[in-house]
Amino acid sequence: MHIIQIASRFLILPLMLAAIAAGSAAAAEVEMQFYGNQHFLFKSPGGKVILINPWITGNKDVPFGIEHYKKGEVDLILVTAGHGDDVGQAVDIAANTGAAVFAPAELGGWMAGQIAELGGSKSQVYGGAISGRYHLGDITVQMLQALHGTGISAAGGRYGGFAAGFLITFENGLKVLMAGSTGLTLDLQLFGMRYQPHVVMVPIAGRYMMHPDDAAFATKLLMTDNPNLKTAIPQHFRIAGKPDWMGTPDEYEAEVRKLGLDVNVLKPEIGKTYTLTK
């Protein structure tokens, strides 16, 4: 079993009975929720809560406000780039919750100052750069290159460093590769060969990154010498407030099928809890 609640050639209804409700205690697996664009929440087997690009203000797919994330309830925030829908409300949420932030050094330096202004601490930010790692308990997060501009929108376009993706290795060994907002590059093949992720999260928005057809090709690259990869999750799409130019999970899935890739496509719905397994 690789994924719960997904449309798939292989998974069928009975498996869905195994779905674990959000917030359940002592999950043995990785849980994931999606809130539009690249706003993802992970709950690790050890109970750690990790947010990626928590964009809330202006994100019509988010059914809650910033106050949803409360003090002590978020452990780590990963930020891939400096644009408004990437950084989102990471600064506010870090200040409110006390969460650590792992971000490209230049962007992180700016965020640290902002967090301190809101009453948090500069030391919450752990700046890094491509290939660098951050440890959260027994979880390891490694920063990976994403071919994308990263001017900091909230700071007048100031340079935010080299844009990032993240490889998250959870306590149970599950490796999830969040590719960030990236163009197509052969380095995705390297990621497959070298890191062998079980789950990959591939951008499909188009315009500012890969369109669904290139995203499917990226998925193929990520399968290179990678027997682990069973689940591909499209990311950077919206349900409410979707711009005309933006790709959709269905388009991505169709392109994956065209390439004949033997991978399950998980098309996340807003707010549902999915269990990710090897």
Say whether residue 163 binds its own copies (CB under 8 A): yes
By the rule CB under 8 A, 197 interacts with its own copies: no
224 touching its own copies, by CB under 8 A: no
Q: Among 53, 145, 196, 275, which residue sits at the site for its own copies (rule: CB under 8 A)?
A: 145
Q: How far is the CB of 71 from its own copies (least distance, A)?
A: 27
Q: For residue 164, which of 142, 186, 184, 194 has the smallest C-alpha distance?
A: 142
182 binds its own copies (CB under 8 A): yes
**Number of residues in contact with its own copies under rule CB under 8 A:** 45
Q: Answer for the pair 113, 145: CB distance below 8 angstroms, yes or no.
A: no
Residue 129 or 270 having the CB closest to its own copies: 129
Beta bridge partners of 140: 135, 169
Member of 189, 250, 270, 271 binding its own copies (CB under 8 A)? 189
88 vs 160, beta carbon nearer its own copies: 160
Element containing residue 128 per DSSP (H, E): strand 125-128
Sheet containing strand 175-178, edge to edge, reads 133-136, 139-145, 164-169, 175-178, 199-203, 231-235, 264-265
User: Looking at 45, 88, 206, 212, which residue binds its own copies (CB under 8 A)?
Assistant: 206
Binding of its own copies by 116 (CB under 8 A): no
Q: Is the dihedral of CA 249, 250, 255, 258 positive or negative?
A: positive
222 binds its own copies per the rule CB under 8 A: no
Out of 36, 45, 54, 161, which residue is the one contacting its own copies (CB under 8 A)? 161
In whole angstroms, what is the distance from residue 93 CA to residue 220 CA? Answer: 35
Residue 215 vs residues 66, 106, 165, 185, 235: alpha-carbon distances, Å? 31, 28, 14, 11, 10
**87: helix, coil or strand?**
helix
Please identify, using beta-carbon distances, which residue of 57 and 131 lies nearer to its own copies.
131
Nearest residue to 232 via CA among 208, 246, 212: 212
- Binding of residue 98 to its own copies (CB under 8 A): no
Contacts of 114 (CB under 8 A, 6+ apart): 91, 154
Asked if residue 166 binds its own copies (CB under 8 A), the reply is no
Using CB under 8 A, which of 48, 68, 122, 194 touches its own copies?
194
Query: Interface residues with its own copies (CB under 8 A)?
Result: 83, 104-106, 109-110, 127-133, 143-145, 147-149, 151, 157-163, 181-187, 189-190, 194, 206-211, 214, 217
